[in-house]
Amino acid sequence: MTVNDIARAAGVSRATVSLVLRESPLVHADTRARVQAELARQRYVYNRGAANLRRRTSSSVALVINDLSNPFFAEFAAGVDQTLAAKGYVTLLGSAGESPERQQAVLASLMEHTPAGLILSPAEGSDGESLRQVLGHSNVLLFNRAVAGTDWDFLALDNRHGAYLATCHVIGLGHRRIAFFGGHADSSSCQQRREGFAQAMAEAGLEVPEASLIESAPNRLEAAARTAELFAGDAAPTAAVCYNDNVALGLMLGLASRGIRAGRDFSITGFDDISEAAATTPALTTIAVNPRERGRQAAELLLQRIDHPEAEPRHTVATVELRIRESCGAPKRT
Amino acid sequence: MTVNDIARAAGVSRATVSLVLRESPLVHADTRARVQAELARQRYVYNRGAANLRRRTSSSVALVINDLSNPFFAEFAAGVDQTLAAKGYVTLLGSAGESPERQQAVLASLMEHTPAGLILSPAEGSDGESLRQVLGHSNVLLFNRAVAGTDWDFLALDNRHGAYLATCHVIGLGHRRIAFFGGHADSSSCQQRREGFAQAMAEAGLEVPEASLIESAPNRLEAAARTAELFAGDAAPTAAVCYNDNVALGLMLGLASRGIRAGRDFSITGFDDISEAAATTPALTTIAVNPRERGRQAAELLLQRIDHPEAEPRHTVATVELRIRESCGAPKRT
DNA sequence: CTGAAAGCGCTTACAG
DNA sequence: CTGAAAGCGCTTACAG
């Protein structure tokens, strides 16, 4: 089961077996055939860990996702794994459950397996200094969320442009009083989406009163609970650009329970294009980010980084696109 | 950066550093403190691969999923990873994309990383002999699909009972002509679900005409396309127990395009309780299998196997439960 | 309680 | 073209 056994059975040295394994042209065709026959006969399985130790290489890449049960990140992970596998890397999976503390522990554990690089979708509230300490000089690609005080490669979604597109669409339908609904105002992705929103509103000469910016944790339940805030003032909005699809779906529930029909009485857009977006009634107009393709892209970027550890850090912005569905209609004439 | 560096700096031998790392009580408290200080100062990171090589142990478990972008399996993977991480194992991820050939390649690659065990959700059409060849004497747990000619541990969903529960519910509402819709008749999970369906029908004294068993690939598109087959005969069914949620969702689309209202004109049940099931209109009555909990369970079972490699193979059946929603109503009086 | 030595399974100069 | 030797970073009997 080791090169030794094969060498002995084939009547050659370990070195020769190793050369055959690594497909070196140095070994005679006859010898190679004999060794390969023996390899097959004994069902030899290569110990890549031992080889990596000796060669001081690595054939693994760590992938740390804040929440794997989120379909968006699951698709992303599938894309990452697909590209890595095609290049001969194995994916070391880590899940941080949106907790910076757990994330530190997971990263520390993964680092002990000497990954060639690491793709990290950071938990909200990640601390740059802590991350740098645990990751040292590893090849790192950040996805989705920037972390202050770090200068690793970064693959960002075009949050600003996505929200801009959604907002322009809503304005184009004739809405004038539009809210930005959901997200934590101190998260970078929320800030960027609000910027895109503000830009579109400004370009259309529309005001953004303070009350039309409503925060909510990015989940359905809290979004539904905050629906009332939309209608607290006297000039209630007729549409909302939502932080993401989950928030939009929660808002739909909140509207329904007040007898307001999404897509008819009130227009909604989301962000992400999760699979439910197409399945709800009305289907959700949203910004598609193609998480699987983003996963492939992230893996490609990291592989480039692994090949060129000294290159300048790169900031890549992934394109997003508007997906128009029924949740977003023209305002009612009153 | 290695035990050598720490030993030199702390004025002890490598052996002593190793003992400190492994928390041996043999080393004097003062020495230990000195070594630990040095460990922290140099930000030493343990090379678990080297340790595993020397100790002939493994700290990884491979997880091979036929399709990670399926939310059901993504949840499952999250559960597996959570439990494995808590026990100090790292998850090696593999995705087979429902292709037995790719699955073989992925498994062969993962085996080179000497996992302590392997959790496999086999692709449809997996061959037992091929799997045995590539997996050798590894500790293996199969999930969801049995593979003929293997005797590894197996965690099954209670397909039969789930379909039985769904069918009894539909019968209880007053339906008499009920179809079983979707799935490949030669897959074991479809066979088992059909058995549960047949049992419930038999217990209620209802017939199952050949035409009421309709096959379809387990995806939305093909299910929608096969809707017509339900209504081909003269005594069309008033309800369908579907192979899974995706099929049920596809059927809903097919019905809608014919002007038939799910939950009012026609009753539907699914299987899996994917997140869309609660979001569609009407919401889908289905069988919940709690994939995250199943993932934890799978990891526990594999860890037991790793601790007792010689124990008898175990076949575990996970409970499922009926989740009643609006897609399943009483038949219309005619 | 601490250190010198051997070895896990592999690879890679270096001789021949 | 092939083999003997050294070494990757760790651990573990075995002496002392």
Average pLDDT over residues A72-87: 95
CA A98 – CA A109 distance, rounded (Å): 17
Average pLDDT, whole number, for chain A?
94
Coil/strand/helix, residue B95: strand
- Residue percentage of chain B with pLDDT more than 90: 82
Assign B97 a pLDDT band (cuts: 50, 70, 90).
confident
Where helices occur in B124-259 by DSSP H, the ranges are 128-135, 159-172, 188-203, 220-225, 227-230, 245-257
- pLDDT for residue A23 is more than 90: no
- pLDDT for residue A48 is more than 80: yes
Size of interface A-B (CB pairs under 8 A): 132
Using the beta-carbon criterion (under 8 Å), do B90 and A113 form an inter-chain contact? yes
Q: Which of residues 29-58 of B touch A (CB under 8 A)?
A: 43, 45-50, 52-53
* pLDDT at residue B218 in the model: 87
Average pLDDT over residues B251-269: 94
Q: Mutate which of A2, A90, A132 to test chain B, going by most B C-beta atoms within 10 A?
A: A90
For residue B276, which residues of chain A lie inside 8 Å, CB to CB? 275-276, 279
B74 part of contact set with chain A, CB < 8 Å? yes
- pLDDT for residue A334 is more than 70: no
CB atoms within 10 A of CB A262: 25
How does DSSP assign A158-219, residue by residue? -HHHHHHHHHHHHHHTT--SEEEE-B-TTSHHHHHHHHHHHHHHHHTT----GGGEE-B-SS
Coil/strand/helix, residue B133: helix
* pLDDT at residue A258 in the model: 92
CA A278 – CA A48 distance, rounded (Å): 44
Closest nucleotide to B29: CA versus each C1': C1
Question: Which of B148, B183, B155, B178 minimizes the C-alpha distance to B316?
Answer: B155
B24 part of contact set with chain A, CB < 8 Å? no
How does DSSP assign A293-314, residue by residue? HHHHHHHHHHHHHHH-TTSPP-
Work out whether strand A315-318 and strand B90-95 pair parallel, antiparallel, or are unpaired.
unpaired
The DSSP H or E segment spanning B101 is: helix B100-111
* pLDDT at residue B124 in the model: 86
Chain A: give the shortest CA distance to residue B52, in Å.
Answer: 9
- What are the tokens at B322? 């009926």
- pLDDT for residue A99 is more than 70: yes
For helices B188-203 and B159-172, angle between their N-to-C axes, nearest 10 degrees:
40
For residue A68, which residues of chain B lie inside 8 Å, CB to CB? 74, 77-78, 81
Q: Which of the nucleotides in strand C have any atom less than 7 Å away from a protein CB atom?
A: 1-13
Give exposure, A274-305, as e/b (b: 16+ Cβ within 10 Å): bbbbebbbbbbbbbbbbbbebbbbbbbbbbeb
Q: Mutate which of B112, B121, B135, B220 to test chain A, going by most A C-beta atoms within 10 A?
A: B112
For helices A48-55 and B48-55, angle between their N-to-C axes, nearest 10 degrees:
120
- pLDDT for residue A71 is more than 90: no
What domains appear along chain A, each with residue ranges and CATH number? 3-46 (1.10.260.40), 58-157+291-318 (3.40.50.2300), 159-289 (3.40.50.2300)
- Per-residue pLDDT tens over the stretch B200-212: 999 999 999 999 9
- pLDDT for residue B334 is more than 80: no
How does DSSP assign A58-105, residue by residue? --EEEEEES-TTSHHHHHHHHHHHHHHHHTT-EEEEEE-TT-HHHHHH
Average pLDDT over residues B242-248: 95
Assign A276 a pLDDT band (cuts: 50, 70, 90).
confident
Average pLDDT over residues A28-53: 93
- pLDDT for residue A1 is more than 90: no
CA A48 – CA A124 distance, rounded (Å): 35
In terms of CA atoms, which chain B residue is nearest residue A45? B112
For residue B78, which residues of chain A lie inside 8 Å, CB to CB? 67-69, 95
Using the beta-carbon criterion (under 8 Å), do A49 and B249 form an inter-chain contact? no
Average pLDDT, whole number, for chain B?
94
Per the model's pLDDT, the better-predicted residue between B197 and B1 turns out to be: B197
Residue A39 contacts residue A19 (beta carbons within 8 Å):
no
CB atoms within 10 A of CB B205: 8
Average pLDDT over residues B193-203: 98
∠ CA(B153), CA(B156), CA(B162), 5° rounding?
165
Residue B188 contacts residue B146 (beta carbons within 8 Å):
yes
Q: Mutate which of B84, B93, B272, B286 to test chain A, going by most A C-beta atoms within 10 A?
A: B93
Chain A: give the shortest CA distance to residue B318, in Å.
Answer: 20
Scan for tokens 């801009």, then name that residue: A164
Which range among A23-37, A199-213, A300-314 shows the weakest confidence by mean pLDDT? A23-37
Using the beta-carbon criterion (under 8 Å), do B292 and A69 form an inter-chain contact? yes
- pLDDT for residue B9 is more than 80: yes
Distance B149 CA to D9 C1' (A): 41
Q: Which of the nucleotides in strand D have any atom less than 7 Å away from a protein CB atom?
A: 1-13
Residue nearest to nucleotide D2 (CA to C1'): A16
Per the model's pLDDT, the better-predicted residue between B1 and A176 turns out to be: A176
In terms of CA atoms, which chain B residue is nearest residue A79? B69
